[in-house]
Chain A
Amino acid sequence: MSVQRAIKSMFNGPKKGETFELKSALVSQYPNERKEGIKRVIKAMTVGKDVSALFPDVLKNIATRDLEQKKLVYLYLMNYAKTNPELCILAVNTFVQDTEDPNPLVRALAIRTMGCIRVNKMVDYMHIPLKRTLSDDNPYVRKTAAVCVAKLFDLNKEMCIEQGFLDHLKRLIDDSNPAVVSNAINALSEINQMDPTQDALKIDGALLKKILMALNECTEWGRITILTALADYHSTSSIEASHIIERVVPQLQHANPSVVLTSIKTILSHIDKLDGAQYNVTIKKLSAPLISLISSSPEIQFISLRNIRIILEKYPDLLSKELRIFYIKYNDPLYLKLEKVEIMVRLANMQNYKILLNELKEYSMEIDYEFVKRSVIAIGQVAIKLGETATAKAIEILIELINTRSEYVLNEVFMVLKDILRKFPNNSRFLGLIIPVIVSNYQQLDDSNAIASFIWLLGEYPKNFGVDLDSILPNYYQNDNLDNYFNNDDDYTIQLQLLITIVRINIIKQSSSSQNFLQKTLTICTEKSDNPDIRDRAFIYWRLLSSNNTTVINNIVQKPLPIIDSTIPKIPQYKVDELVSELGTLSSIYHEPASEFMDNYHKFHVSRTGNNIASKNIDELQQIAKNEIVNKAVKSETLLDFDDEPEYEDVNTTSANSETNTSSTTASANVLNELNDLFNFNASPVASQRQVSSDGKSNDDIMGLFSTGTAGVANGLQNLNLNSQSSLNNSVSTQSQPQPGSQKPSDDLLNLF
């Protein structure tokens, strides 16, 4: 009844306009007109007009011998079934009939479309035609029906299992036709992904034989499917592994890059089971196909390069002789150029460093700023990776670059030179080359990281700077008390570095003016800075310097930094193994495991930063806090590698870090004690502040907890117990907020000093 009414109301619709015209065409008595009408409806649908009102009229045209018309009506149904779920029932009959049509194209079309009409009513009628088509004589129909099982599983899992479709699908792997086999595997692995508990695609010895047989007969897409299934299979013995690899190796010669890359993935997943000699032979076969991926279209190249980078993390020597292939082409899109440089620095070795550095120098002369920056940094990465000989050459190039086009490269060159001195501290030859260049160019710097690098150098090598520091420093202290850098909110890096450097200089090369600067800096940092890192650090320095305990001062301020190994970021080992098994997938492009970017990403992300902490009990937290402080003490030594690891972002927001920055591993125990002292002072005056900060959800991790302190706190870390209980609930947000009350405690602290 409702159907009839709906149809009636359609007829009573407007008598004018496009919809009316279409409607009358659809019910015309001439087949040609009706077909034209359908085409116009589809066209309107394509451009985004809502033609769902015509549903009943289009539906009338479903029973036709004209295949093209049928396809169009089906297409319309797929699009608008959801808007008229009740009316779909009218189409069911035709669908079911069509699955018995003598023409296999029609049978396949019907079952394919049925699966795409995501309406419950339709699903209820699907099992009979699906069963029939799954055992159709024609492979074209069977392969379409195989996919339909996956569609059904998505719509109605229970029915799919109850009706035995899963088992039927598994039997299709036995099919004589390769296209059916590959679609069956496709469907099974899709089902496996939807619900791993079904264990839909379980490969055993017998099955393995079958799919290996099918491999050579499939289309390129079918091969990818089979190869993926083979990669996920865990071979049970070295004989089996070698058998699989033997069958897969010829696929490396396939013209489709995805077949090639998936073959590589499959080989790598079984290669560890091979014995030494066979392993070596096989691994050698991989390099040429990998290189060939680089001669495809830019998008394919991009994905390939991201994958090559993963492979190089695990097999660093695989492409060691192939550097030239990765040379940049002038017309490459920028994203490719940057990726290629990433690969090139990883292929650097003592045999090729000269041509590589020259090539990078050539890139540094390009016009694209982004790319030039990357190339300069690459020069530094190669130098630091390869050691002194390469570094000498690199410094020569860097100095030449400054002389020829300083505006473009100066900031990056300074950062690279700083890194080089982190690798070769106190190397008099390099210092002799670097310092003069720095002295004559530092005034042009305009990037805060570069300026911070320069200031760090000042503090690290005050004696090497022939020029009087008093003439350099005032640049950063214009106007007696309101100077450039301490007023600019963005330049915390510079402020922090300036503070550290001034303290150092004051110890190593004290002069009356440096004392003056020191006094001024400490005052500004403690009174004016709204950044807790800087403020708290200044307090610690102040107190430290007042203590006159030279051993502690030297331990903290003058401890040499650990030597850096390489500035080329590495993917952590556990991730590499996971990514190698994900070659070709989106994971391999983002270099992140799937859990990081899939649907549940946001949930996941929040729980990692917030809830996780809240859910831990106090003991755990305390342990974490302790570990963190000790770890940071070690890690913070590399604070200067601003661009190194992403974790650094996190590190910088935790103020616990800044307390321990200057200390070293060995001194970390000391630091803990000293910290404890600090908290004692902190305790009473801050009590009133607790309200403020907990409202503001301040959560500077541990330090946030400390600074909100409670009265009666006794022994440093022990106070975590009391403290965290009160503020933990609030300390979920990751943002650190300026604390309005900070002025007051700092006054108190100063009094204490």
Chain B
Amino acid sequence: MASIVYFLDAKGKSLLSRDYKGDIPYSAVDKFPLLHLEAEEENSAAPPVFNYKGINYLYIVHNDLYILALTRNNDNALEIMLFLNKLIEVLTQYFKNLEEESIRDNFVIIYELLDEMMDYGFPQTTDTKILKEYITQKSHALIKFNQQQQRPPNAVTNAVSWRTDGIFYKKNEVFLDVIESINMLVNPNGQVLRSEILGKIKIKSQLSGMPDLRLGLNDKGIFGGDRSNGNGGGEDRTTKGLEMEDVKFHQCVRLSKFENEKIITFIPPDGEFELMSYRLSTPIKPLIWVDCRVKLHSNSRIEIKAKVRAQIKKRSTANDVEISIPVPEDADSPKFQTSSGSIKYTPENSCIVWKLKQFQGGKEAAMIAELGLPSVTNEDPTFKSKRPISVKFQVPYFITSGLQVRYLKINEPKMQYQSYPWVRYITQSGNDYTIRL
């Protein structure tokens, strides 16, 4: 497992490190900036893992930092990489922002966390909520008054490692957010080349004690997927049109119970967490469709005509629709006309961004833009960049896949309190909702 974990600044200089095994010379990290640079020069596709003289370098770039792990052995690279991700996540939750400055300001607590999260290269406790129980920024204040606070929470080693006991709320509530992100690739004719729904259920739990929860979704059959083939495959999936291809659960969900009985049961961590995520690749039509015609008069100007249509139910409304249309890098003096919304030229991204605050289902909007191009250019116009149009939006109270929460049963064996779940649905664009030009 990882021998050393480093935080490096943008130039590759070490800000802070924790040596877990002592089997790697200090000179190894000094070589990193050079090796990284060389790798990038040799081939612009420098991968995040490489080997130099028997030492393996695994790194993640985060803000202005490199988070780097070194190891000599043929270790589980995916695990190390995930640990680094987790480390970033935990530190971000501790300091809001993880960057060079927050490393410098918080070195004491980072050392403490590094000590607690990994031992001799084995990842240990990585749950922020639990870590916060006994590693606090103001620990010296606590220690004087309350020696008890400084014990390791039972949760660190318990089977239920994500929740401490003794939690109490006056009002017991659970909030469920069902969020579906749509990723889509559409060609200029409106033909969908690729689409997927990445869904997740987020829970904010404010429940006392050790409650046991049971979540019911609208159809057990949706968890058919490949598994149903094994169970005889008699389910009629075509009428439902819903095929959840893969479901991933939070640590707290009893996986074998789900595997055998298709029931989702769990003891939730306190506060916010992501209970499950799922993926569907059923073909869907574009919710927001942009029809865009670009006319390039080389060396003089570029004309863009675009039409956008909200292909959702009339009752629904898409919020914060943002359409980024790429334009040549050297375009200038933009002129816009639009039927609704506002348009801005952002030269830093070489894009024009068309924003519609609210966009009702079934409606259409249009715009015309014209930008000047320099008359002299050394670039060949045939090499125009193939950047696609990207679209961002949110549609509240609407779920694309039709998933529904049927019930959420909450049972706290000792307290037996009343509590109600609140459910919200939202569909939004994923990080890759693009239309090719």
Contacts and interface: CB of A to CB of B under 8 A. Distances in A.
Interface residues of B, number: 100
A582 B76 CA distance: 9
Interface stretch (B166-174, B273-281, B313-321, B417-425): B273-281
Contacts of B54: 597-602
B79 A285 contact: no
Interface in B22-59: 22, 43-49, 51, 53-54, 56
Contact of B119 (A47, A71, A103, A144): A144
B122 interface: yes
A331 B185 CA distance: 13
A39 B108 contact: yes
A613 B349 CA distance: 58
A288 B226 contact: yes
Interface stretch (A363-371, A513-521, A671-679): A363-371
A585 B246 contact: no
Given A139-B157, A224-B76, 11 more contacts: A42-B108, A43-B107, A66-B143, A67-B143, A72-B108, A190-B1, A190-B120, A217-B159, A250-B255, A330-B390, A334-B45
Contacts of A262: 76, 78-79
Contact of B198 (A104, A224, A295, A601): A295
* Max count, chain B CB within 10 A of own CB: residue among A35, A193, A287, A598: A598
Contacts of A641: none
Nearest to A194: B73
B14 interface: yes
A459 B256 CA distance: 66
Contacts of B333: none
A585 B78 CA distance: 7
Interface stretch (A176-184, A379-387, A476-484, A690-698): A176-184
B300 interface: no
Interface of A: 35, 39, 42-43, 46-48, 65-68, 71-72, 75, 78-79, 103-105, 108-109, 112, 115-116, 118, 138-140, 143-144, 147, 150-151, 154, 177-180, 183, 186-187, 190, 193, 216-217, 219-221, 224-225, 228, 247, 249-251, 253-258, 260-262, 281, 284-285, 287-289, 291-292, 295, 297-300, 302-304, 307, 324-325, 327, 329-331, 333-335, 337-338, 355, 359, 362, 365-368, 370, 404-405, 407-408, 582, 584-590, 594, 597-602
B239 interface: no
Main secondary structure of the interface of B (DSSP, over half): mixed
Nearest to A43: B107
A43 B103 CA distance: 11
* Max count, chain B CB within 10 A of own CB: residue among A140, A150, A333, A408: A140
B120 A147 contact: yes
A682 to B, nearest CB: 41
A177 B53 CA distance: 40
B120 A285 contact: no
B111 A586 contact: no
Contact of B255 (A150, A253, A404, A597): A253
Given A250-B255, A601-B54, A103 B143 contact: no
A276 B1 CA distance: 37
Contact of B152 (A47, A105, A150, A186): A105
B157 A587 contact: no
A586 B77 contact: yes
A582 B140 contact: no
Given A147-B119, A261-B78, A586-B77, A285 B227 contact: yes
B157 A143 contact: yes
Contacts of A325: 194, 196, 281
Interface stretch (B206-214, B285-293, B360-368, B378-386): B378-386
A602 B151 contact: no
B122 A179 contact: no
Contacts of A190: 1, 120-121
A71 B115 contact: yes
A243 B432 CA distance: 41
Contact of A330 (B45, B48, B434): B434
Contacts of A295: 198, 279
Contact of B229 (A67, A105, A281): A281
A717 B256 CA distance: 68
B125 to A, nearest CB: 7
A38 to B, nearest CB: 10
B357 to A, nearest CB: 25
B334 interface: no
Contacts of A304: 78
Contact of B230 (A48, A139, A281): A281
B92 interface: no
A147 B122 contact: yes
Given A112-B119, A140-B157, A256-B82, A303 B49 contact: yes
Contacts of B83: 221
B401 to A, nearest CB: 15
Nearest to A113: B115
A483 B43 CA distance: 32
Nearest to B85: A297
A224 B151 contact: no
B161 interface: yes
Given A139-B157, A147-B120, A299-B48, A258 B229 contact: no
A180 B159 CA distance: 11
A200 to B, nearest CB: 15
A190 B436 CA distance: 51
Contacts of A251: 255
Given A285-B230, A288-B245, A329-B432, A221 B386 contact: no
B74 A405 contact: no
Contacts of B193: 324, 327, 355, 359
What 8 pairs between A and B have smallest CB-CB spacing?
Answer: A594-B74, A250-B255, A250-B259, A139-B157, A334-B45, A288-B246, A221-B123, A335-B45
Contacts of A256: 82, 251
B56 A104 contact: no
B140 A287 contact: no
Interface string B87-124: 00000000000000000000110011001000111111
Nearest to B121: A190
Interface string B244-283: 0111111101111011000000000000001011010100
A588 B75 CA distance: 10
25 contacts: A68-B108, A109-B115, A118-B22, A139-B157, A140-B152, A178-B159, A219-B161, A221-B79, A249-B259, A253-B253, A253-B258, A255-B274, A257-B78, A257-B82, A291-B246, A292-B245, A302-B48, A307-B78, A327-B193, A330-B387, A330-B388, A330-B434, A355-B193, A405-B383, A589-B47
Nearest to B59: A299
Contacts of A330: 387-388, 390, 432, 434
Interface string B276-312: 1101010000000000000000000000000000000
B207 to A, nearest CB: 21
A216 B152 contact: no
A103 B45 contact: no
A698 B107 CA distance: 57
Contacts of B222: none
Contacts of A331: 431-432
B119 A104 contact: no
A219 B125 contact: yes
B129 interface: no
A304 B258 CA distance: 25
Contact of A253 (B49, B122, B248): B248
Contacts of A299: 48-49, 60, 81, 85
B119 A362 contact: no
A370 B150 contact: no
Contacts of B143: 65-68
B372 interface: no
Nearest to B276: A255
Nearest to B124: A221
A258 B82 contact: yes
Given A288-B246, A324-B281, A105 B134 contact: yes
Contact of A48 (B14, B150, B386): B14
